Structure 1
Amino acid sequence: MLAAILATTAAHSLEAVAGKVYRGSDGQTVEVVTLEPRTASEVLIRVRGTDSEDDGIALRATLKKHSRGADYVVRHRGGDYVLLLQRDGRYEAVLPGVQAFPVKFNQEATDKASTAEVLAAHQQQLESGRIAAFQKKAWPHLEKKYTARAGEAVTALNKACGTTVTFTFDWKSFSDEVMAEFDVWAACAPLASRAQARCASVKTVTTLVCRFGPTLGLERGGDTLTFTTTSKGAAEGPAFLDRNLSR
């Protein structure tokens, strides 16, 4: 989470100063934006016009040159991912979930493009968590384990309170560092246990959500109750929830 906050802060200090647009034969667009403060090896890249679920994401990429050409590398699923590559002057884009496709520089599209809009999209996607979700490593075993434990807890809650509540995790808010170092369910469990102790507080709730953040928080939105936990959520969460659930 701290890394995401720092990344967002850093993005707001950047300025888009130049850009190039490449086009694919089926209408795909690849925008490459140079940033200020200028770092020759770092750019923003946005790929649009594909069927990928990641279409339109604007990612910070590192240019890595080698004897065969160059790779524009981003972080995806916890590792390096080549989003755009250049071989012998030819470019090819490789967005997850779709077949790689060749692109060529397009002067007309470059003249019409807005580099500031690409940077704004990058900043918005940082804040929304979309980029964090793209970069985050997959943790299927842990997610399955924590989801099972949440299911057991919410079954007990529904039996005790006569409710039909479900429990979900906002997985994109849990960074790779958090997933690797902390027991996520221990940090989220107070939401289910304290709700069960205060049935009246969840009579109109159908969904409990646990997310990770810098400070403890509790938010009601319609029939959803969202608990923001922290690395100390297991210890500090119960008292915090007891103070706030009845409000």
Structure 2
Amino acid sequence: MSVVALSLGCSRGVRPDSAVAGTKPVTGKVYSNEAGEKITLIGLEPGDAHKALVAFEGTKSELDGQVLVASVGEERRETQYWTLWRGRKQRFVTVNDRGGYQDLVFSNVNHTDYTYLKPDTAKTGALKVEKVFERYQDLEGDKKYQALLAFDRKFWTNQAEVQLAEALAATNKACGSKLTSTVAWDSVTDEQINEMSFGSYCVGPLESLQKLCERSDEAKRTIQQKVQTVECRVDPKAALKLEAQKVIWSVTSGETVQPEATTTFFTDNL
């Protein structure tokens, strides 16, 4: 953040077990947009701790009202803020240096929606960075807040199911079909849920079927006749199979069957 450093002391002590123990707030910048979203970034010293606080307001997400401690990383001309949420390391905020001006990219919890915010000079001028620091300390002692940081398997499986349902609806609309989809959650460990975004991994075959249907009526008829359901699961190796009228889409950490190969498989086997 290219803001003027403010030498501030803390008005009260920080608990020894706090994630911000040994730091103090020294910089602050507010970003906003016309939709009413506001994200505040508070830099923490010492600088080699690579930590910041991120406060959310007006984002229409469960993050509103929360202040999260972030690990700060630099990559080329962007600054990334990594935070813990529901047991997973998440990057909700990225600040881009556009060569003379900045913008902040905010991605929601499920990483399907992205919005842009600009530096807000007036709000930055009125910012009390120590108040945000104290707000975070208050939240750290709140049981409800701590529960939102703990791993939540049901939350992440529900997020994936919602994303999958959206892709399924788009496919059925394009194909004039009544396909169903499932995820074999019993094949997925908690560790894999932490590592992988199943909503993104599992939509692959549905997106390929949709594109085929958009190309030709023949593809629509074929898919209506030969496919009833799509199952996503974790297996030792990424694979795509068709058994009876069931598509079995196997994924593994860091690997899926690529879109071109998926489309070729359906073209050759349906």
**What is the TM-score normalised by the length of structure 2?**
0.45
Higher RCO, 1 vs 2 (CA within 8 Å, ≥6 residues apart): 1
